[in-house]
Amino acid sequence: MHNIKSVITPRFLEAFIVTSTIFLVISVSIIKFDSVPHIPILFSVLLLFGYGFLKKVSYQELEKGLVEGAGAGMSAVFLFFFIGMLISSWMISGTIPTLIYTGFTLISMTFFYAIVFTVTSLIGLSIGSSLTTVATIGVAFIGMATAMDLSLAVTAGAIVSGAFFGDKMSPLSDTTNLSSTIVGVDLFEHIRNMGWTTIPAFVITLMLLALLSPEAAGASVEDITAFKEGLLATGMIHWYTFIPLAVLIILTFMKMPALLTLALSSMSAIAISFVHQISTVPEIFKVLFSGYVSSTGIEEIDSLLSRGGMESMMFTIALVLLALSMGGLLFTLGIVQCLLAKVESLLNKVSSVIAASALTAIGINVLIGEQYLSILLTGQAFKEPYDKVGLAGKNLSRVMEDAGTVVNPLVPWSVCGIFITSVIGVPTLDYLPFAFFCLLSPVLTVLFGFTGKTLTYK
């Protein structure tokens, strides 16, 4: 999307007013009127059309920007389709039920939130994908929290924190490779430098989640035992159901493209499903599209296991396309470029350069809702200002991840925020206060910028 050319050059005041209006329309609609994000974003698209017409921009130019913006999200659309099929296939194969059962066996209720954060961090670090981590082990942990009657908001916050720690620090992660590549920094040097902000954020998050974790109670233990017996009664709890998870991890380490990795893991899950239940090809097709429907007769278990499928991703995909279409219009009308140019012109100190780059990464996430675009635009806009104040490139790549990668899941209309809410069923604004790692990372990166600590100069 960053390659979309602007057809006009608006004044800064105009760009600021349009941007502020869009932000107010979206935030007020979602927070005050409890609207789904689709409607205010569609209103914002119409607002941008109106602004374009006032500036004498033709309908054809505006439509072109709309289409090019949506086109930037097609890779994400296909990824969501395959993740929907992955979840339903992992359900019918017994992979997710077995993960939940194993979790009940190995994980105690004491320090539950801290354990969730630690495990999702390790999984995220291993496979380098925050969304895949949330859609697999995250779904299992939400199921455990539901059974133990624990806070789903805190559990989701722990899952998101761990998943995005892994996404940020894994050498297999797209965002980690993208950040280091844009700035021209060695990948592992970039990861080591991120440790200065990431490790403190990890430790503080772990401590906070440990403090929030409940103590084990007798009633809860009885509930867990009953839940485990119900899972066993499904006939899907077997050691070999871990094979699709192993396929996912192995192919990720082999650097297989994400779409192929998800597809092959789903295929292995479908093959396993024929081992312990009678299925037909039409039934499998229905499950892959509409999701798996559990029919154990136990309400809690059926509610937990009935999910997945391509159809479950339609809400997410529609919103991603709308948000990116709005982003395409913002670029076509030169609004994003105008705001970035104004920010860049105000930079003359190390602290202001770091703060401005962090706020830019956050602002793009909030305005456009796209993680990769936040990294790309921030990296391209601030290379020169960082050089001007004598900062090494790895400082910029760290800020891009601290304020770009991990902020996206905190925005309700962002690609990650929409996806996470649709998969685990917890609204973004509910888990936001408990996603401590994602909240701390941008604060620490700006703080170190003002103190001068951990910065590297040329």
Query: What mean pLDDT comes out for the span 275-286?
Result: 82
Q: Are the C-beta atoms of residues 259 and 250 closer than 8 Å to each other?
A: no
Give the CA dihedral 393, 161, 80, 405, nearest 10 degrees: -20
| pLDDT at residue 270, as a whole number | 92
User: Looking at residues 38-48, what average pLDDT do you find?
Assistant: 90
What tokens appear for 372 in the block?
Answer: 């990769």
Place of tokens 């403090």: 211
Please state, rounded to an integer, the average pLDDT across all residues of the chain: 84
**More confident position, 225 or 291:** 291
Instruction: Please say if the pLDDT value at position 119 is more than 70.
Output: yes
Looking at per-residue confidence, does 139 or 270 come out higher?
Answer: 270
First-to-last C-alpha distance (Å) of the chain: 31
| Residue count of the chain | 458
**Residue type at 383?**
K
What pLDDT does residue 281 have? 85
Answer whether 138's CB lies under 8 Å from 424's CB: yes
Per-residue pLDDT for 21 more than 60?
A: yes
In this prediction, residues 32-37 reach a mean pLDDT of 78
pLDDT for res 223: 60
Predicted confidence band of residue 191 (pLDDT cuts 50, 70, 90): confident
User: Which of the listed ranges 84-93, 361-370, 425-434 does the model predict with the highest average pLDDT?
Assistant: 425-434
Mean pLDDT is lowest, of 99-103, 360-364, 433-437, for 99-103
Residue 395 predicted with pLDDT over 80: yes
Say whether 61 sits in a helix, a strand or coil. Answer: helix
The confidence score (pLDDT) of residue 218 equals 45
Predicted confidence (pLDDT) per residue in 401-413, tens digit: 999 889 999 998 8
Q: Give the model's pLDDT for residue 159.
A: 95
Question: At 432, is the pLDDT very low, low, confident or very high (cuts 50, 70, 90)?
Answer: very high
Q: Which residues contact 312 (CB under 8 A, 6 or more apart)?
A: 84, 87, 88, 291, 422
Indicate if the pLDDT at residue 101 is higher than 90. no
pLDDT at 209 (0 to 100): 93
pLDDT at 219: 42
Q: Which residues, at least 6 apart from 44, have a Cβ–Cβ distance to it below 8 Å?
A: 22, 25, 26, 326
- State the average pLDDT over residues 432-445: 95
Cα atoms in the 13 Å half-sphere on the side-chain side of 347: 27
pLDDT for 215: 66
Tokens of 374: 């936040």
> For the chain, how are helix, strand and coil distributed in percent, rounded to 5?
80, 0, 20
Considering only CA atoms, which of 38, 273, 253 is closest in space to residue 129? 253
Q: Give the DSSP per-residue string, 198-240.
A: HHHHHHHHHHHHHHHPPPP-HHHHHHHHHHHHHHHHTT---GG
pLDDT tens, 305-354? 777 888 887 877 887 788 778 888 988 999 888 887 777 667 778 888 89
Give the C-alpha separation, 160 to 170, whole Å. 15
The predicted pLDDT at position 336 comes to 80
Whether the full predicted model's pTM is greater than 0.75, yes or no, is no
CB 124 within 8 A of CB 163: yes
Angle subtended by helix axes 350-368 and 371-388, to nearest 10: 160
**Token match 């948000």: residue?**
323
> Residue 48 — very low, low, confident or very high, per pLDDT cuts 50/70/90?
very high
Distance of CA 190 to the CA centre of its chain: 21
pLDDT value of position 162: 93
In one letter, which amino acid is 225?
A: T
Which of the four pLDDT bands, split at 50, 70 and 90, describes residue 1? low
Q: What is the pLDDT of residue 250?
A: 87
Amino acid making up residue 301: I
Q: For position 43, what pLDDT does the model report?
A: 92
- 392 by Cβ neighbours in 10 Å (0-12 / 13-18 / 19+) ranks as middle
pLDDT of residue 222: 60
